[in-house]
Amino acid sequence: MKKLILLFVFVFSVVLAKAQMGYNYKEFGIGLDVSYERGYTNIARQDNHIATSINFIYNYSPYIPVAAELQFGTLSGGGLTPAKDKYGRQFTNHYEAFILHADFQLGEVIDYSQNDLLNVIKNFYFGTGVGFVFNNNTVQRTNVYPQNGPLTYVFPGSDNSINMTVPLRFGYEFKLFNEYSEPYMAIDIGYVHSLVFGEGLDGYDDPSNVFKNNASNQYRQIVVGVKFNFGNITSYNKLIRRF
């Protein structure tokens, strides 16, 4: 009798698991990103660099990840020749950033169950958040060309500063599934444009009545990332993977 009960429990568990295949997802994730980035600051000429980041993720649903991101990158621009900057200004910013952001994938709101095109579109996302950039600049602060003003002029600003940032995020997530049809891994390709409130990215805070300064600091990133899901198994209200 005991063996019969155990057999019944086993069969019931298998049937229940099969019934949930395609609906389950894991609650947490960790992500690693590499990005190709460029700044937009008071200095016209900007360089491209590689940045990296690590993300600690809470999957509110399979289509709404909420992440705490630690970002490490470099922004630089200008130069000592007139072709690179009229005044010989140049900067290199080895920055770090902490950002909280959430993405909203279209699969959260569209019915893709009977449509192949919508099943592909469901993984497009947009998102935003808020965070802080910790700037660590090396800056050339003196005018080097007398025709543009006195050589004793020192460009104002701070080498080390903290600025608030708001990222605008767009992209697509390729979900990979395990044998239980759970999205255990994902590859993301995206574009992030970060608005920075302050003048810390390049370390220059020049008076706008003397030097052209039409916009706040910004930087953009073209991102490729990988995410690994783990933790508690949670059921969604519709199929995540179409069979």
- Model pLDDT for residues 95-150, shown as the tens digit of each residue: 999 999 999 999 999 999 899 999 999 999 999 999 999 999 999 998 888 777 77
Nearest Cα neighbor of 132 from 167, 98, 96, 168 is: 98
Q: Measure the CA–CA gap between 157 and 180, rounded to whole angstroms.
A: 56
> Domain extents for the chain?
2-235
Q: Which amino acid appears at position 63 of this protein?
A: Y
Residue 10, pLDDT above cutoff 60: no
pTM for the whole structure: 0.87
Nearest Cα neighbor of 86 from 145, 129, 135, 166 is: 145
Longest dimension (CA), the chain: 100
Give the position of tokens 């697509």: 172
Structural class in CATH, domain 2-235:
mainly beta
Residue 207 has a pLDDT of 74
Residue 19 has a pLDDT of 45
161-191 residue pLDDT tens: 999 999 999 999 999 999 999 999 999 999 9
